[in-house]
């Protein structure tokens, strides 16, 4: 649909951290960026297009089909990826739940973290979405109670949004 309604459009995907995507939009290297988390910048136009549920990955004994309460995780180390928005959001939610989280080793990649959490010391982490492969039943992934989520945003230059902006927004509608 995008290609048929905007002839001559060239689509190139670029995967990089959110902060780098925002800088690339500012510099004109990218026309649009899709990023998770809150974005507040006067020089950028931000359109929330979706919300990703946040799920908790925990040792199986913490399983709660109706949702894991953050306070029940207070004694476990929290392992987070290098994602400033997610870090601030989860640490803030823990503080609202009445505790300061014990920060464990950062998550370099989810696959390695799943293996480490399945075979090593108990810990918990947060996953965007609702699916994750776990091994041998040592871990369980499910919802938080109350539910937590992350906004998914389309970000463009505030001064010169691309001609296809409305089409991109409508594709998510």
| Residues 83/38, Cβ–Cβ less than 8 Å | no
* pLDDT at position 33 over 70: yes
CATH number for position 25:
3.40.190.10
The predicted model gives 146-170 an average pLDDT of 90
Q: State how many domains the chain has.
A: 2
List strands edge to edge, sheet with 44-59.
33-36, 139-157, 44-59, 124-128, 77-79, 102-103
* Pair 66, 97 in one domain: yes
pLDDT-derived band of residue 164, with 50, 70 and 90 as boundaries? confident
* Pair 16, 84 in one domain: no
* Pair 23, 71 in one domain: no
The chain-wide mean pLDDT, for the chain, equals: 91
The predicted model gives 103-131 an average pLDDT of 91
* Pair 138, 83 in one domain: yes
pTM: 0.86
Residue 132's pLDDT is 66
* pLDDT at position 170 over 90: no
Query: What is the domain extent for residue 7?
Result: 2-50+151-171
């Amino acid at each position: 649909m995008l290609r048929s309604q905007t002839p001559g459009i060239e689509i190139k995907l670029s995967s990089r951290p959110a902060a780098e995507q925002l800088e690339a939009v500012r510099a004109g290297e990218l026309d649009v960026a899709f990023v998770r988390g809150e974005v507040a910048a006067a020089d950028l136009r931000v359109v929330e297009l979706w919300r990703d549920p946040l799920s908790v990955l925990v040792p199986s004994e913490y399983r709660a089909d109706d949702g894991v309460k953050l306070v029940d995780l207070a004694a476990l180390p929290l392992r987070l990826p290098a994602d400033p928005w997610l870090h601030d959001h989860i640490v803030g939610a823990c503080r609202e739940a009445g505790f300061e989280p014990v920060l464990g080793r950062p998550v370099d990649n989810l696959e390695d973290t799943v293996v480490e959490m399945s075979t090593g010391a108990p810990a918990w982490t947060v996953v965007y979405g609702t699916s994750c492969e776990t091994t041998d039943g040592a871990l369980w992934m499910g919802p938080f109670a109350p539910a937590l989520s992350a906004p998914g945003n389309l970000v463009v230059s505030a001064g010169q949004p691309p001609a296809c902006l409305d089409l991109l927004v409508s594709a998510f509608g």
